[in-house]
Amino acid sequence: MKREAGEVVDIFDAIRIPGIPRVWITRGLSTEQIQSIHRNLEEFGEAENLVVSSETYRHFTVDEGRSIAVAALELFDAGANSNEYIPHQILTNLANVVPGSLQGLYPSLLERDLGWGSDSMFREADWATRDRIISLLDAQVQSIYTRQDLLCALAWIGDDVVQRQFYQWHQTPPMWRNLLYTPPEEYANAAGWELTEEGTRRNLFFEMCYDLVVPEQAPLEDTPGPVSVAIINEERCGWCGHPLTTLFDIDLRDPRMAFLPIQGKRLRIAQCLNCALQVMPHPVTDIDGDGTSRWSLYNTDPPKNLKVYDENDTSYESLPPNQWVLGMARRTPYENQGSHIGGCPDWVQGAEYPHCPACQKKMMFVAQLEPNIGSLEGIFYAFVCLSCGKATTMYQQT
């Protein structure tokens, strides 16, 4: 039974597939019983892949999204044991990809313990739910969501009231501040923004977002398109001597790239693969709108214990050039899975926006690449500080 992503009826089928109790010991079971377990696992695996993929939700209307959300809450209330994170995944995908689909459901979302981290599910929450979340934090009311979940939810809401509240906590830390590793206002980063010194919101991502896809998925007349990926750069790494790789080479003259607020014709963001997979932070390059991409004097001495792989060592990971091109525009900047340019990063290990070495401000997220090649199973993220002309990258994996 092959499923095509994106059909409403398929997703209802998928939601109805019951959680499969994990069976680890099959000794003593008949061949028939074992085959049946495998069939169930396979069916559940397919259903799981469908509902957790954000792509599935791209074409749903608000009404369709809403009925899927209601079904997800019913699934949660039915207490589906081994797949209990699935309702949270469905609701998060709806919040990220189908704006408006969770209207009226926010009180129910808050009542239930759906806390599976970084709660973008609450991004469009009504004011009463927002105020309830603030009171849950402040009044030390017993809550099933952790304090981190609640702060992330507030960060995603991120409206004027949340900004004022974060600023107030910044000036007068709340009683519960010492129970957190970071100040409350820094949770804004999880939702792609930071609180300025003046107490206002500064976004760290661009609202426009486009898929980066394999060339076969892009219209022929549109290849190579305005974005080239993983091209050898003429500069060498000042730490290890390897050639730098231009992770993203962007043609700024293409109208689709107009969301990048930089004058000129070309933007290049480079990294050293040898160093990127070993150390944090990554080297910084000097950039401009004319394609300049140079090793920056802001880079300090090479990190200690840096390994330098032989450039001809074939076991050493490499990124094949020109395997990704610009695809379709996404409906929202919040659908963060997969490779894309613009929109919000999909942090594998939590938000980690690098600081610009020149102005010390957090750098803006530009694009991410999820290569899925060999052992490169993580995500590369590219950042810029356009006012200082600096670029850098990050790499996170599980």
Nearest to 187 by CA among 158, 152, 150, 142: 152
Question: In this complex, which beta carbon is closest to Zn ion, that of residue 191 or of residue 240?
Answer: 240
Question: In this complex, which beta carbon is closest to Zn ion, that of residue 73 or of residue 385?
Answer: 385
**Cβ–Cβ < 8 Å for 81, 60:** no
Residues 377-396 that bind Zn ion (CB under 5 A): 385, 388
Q: Across-strand partners of 329?
A: 210
CA distances from 384 to 27, 100, 193 (A): 56, 32, 15
Report the nearest approach of Zn ion to the CB of residue 370 (Å). Answer: 22
CA distances from 112 to 26, 103, 128, 251 (A): 35, 16, 16, 47
295 binds Zn ion (CB under 5 A): no
The rounded Cα 11 to chain-centroid distance in angstroms is 23
Report the nearest approach of Zn ion to the CB of residue 235 (Å). Answer: 11
274 binds Zn ion (CB under 5 A): yes
Report the nearest approach of Zn ion to the CB of residue 360 (Å). Answer: 7
Residue choice 7, 64, 358, 396 for contact with Zn ion (CB under 5 A):
358
Report the nearest approach of Zn ion to the CB of residue 194 (Å). Answer: 13
Contacts with 396 (C-beta within 8 Å, 6 or more apart), sequence order = 347, 348, 349, 352, 378, 379, 381
**Cβ–Cβ < 8 Å for 141, 130:** no
Question: In this complex, which beta carbon is closest to Zn ion, that of residue 234 or of residue 254?
Answer: 234
Q: For Zn ion, which stretch binds (CB under 5 A), given 252-260, 269-277, 337-345, 372-380?
A: 269-277
Question: In this complex, which beta carbon is closest to Zn ion, that of residue 5 or of residue 358?
Answer: 358
Cis peptide before 219 (omega within 30 of 0): no
Nearest to 350 by CA among 152, 90, 124: 152
275 binds Zn ion (CB under 5 A): yes
Q: For Zn ion, which stretch binds (CB under 5 A), given 121-129, 143-151, 226-234, 265-273?
A: 265-273
**Cβ–Cβ < 8 Å for 269, 393:** yes
Report the nearest approach of Zn ion to the CB of residue 97 (Å). Answer: 32
Report the nearest approach of Zn ion to the CB of residue 135 (Å). Answer: 38
d(CA 77, CA 377): 34
Total interface residues for Zn ion by CB under 5 A: 11
Angle at CA 63, nearest 5°, toward 62 and 68? Answer: 95
Residue choice 114, 284, 356, 364 for contact with Zn ion (CB under 5 A):
356
Report the nearest approach of Zn ion to the CB of residue 304 (Å). Answer: 14
Residue choice 41, 258, 329, 359 for contact with Zn ion (CB under 5 A):
359
Report the nearest approach of Zn ion to the CB of residue 262 (Å). Answer: 13
Q: For Zn ion, which stretch binds (CB under 5 A), given 150-158, 165-173, 273-281, 322-330?
A: 273-281
102 binds Zn ion (CB under 5 A): no
d(CA 270, CA 261): 19
Nearest to 354 by CA among 396, 305, 291, 304: 396
Q: For Zn ion, which stretch binds (CB under 5 A), given 58-66, 87-95, 349-357, 373-381?
A: 349-357
Cis peptide before 174 (omega within 30 of 0): no
272 binds Zn ion (CB under 5 A): yes
Site string for Zn ion, 218-257 (x = CB under 5 A): -------------------x-xx-----------------
d(CA 31, CA 43): 18
Report the nearest approach of Zn ion to the CB of residue 362 (Å). Answer: 9
Question: In this complex, which beta carbon is closest to Zn ion, that of residue 117 or of residue 289?
Answer: 289
Could you list the residues that contact Zn ion (CB under 5 A)?
A: 237, 239-240, 272, 274-275, 356, 358-359, 385, 388
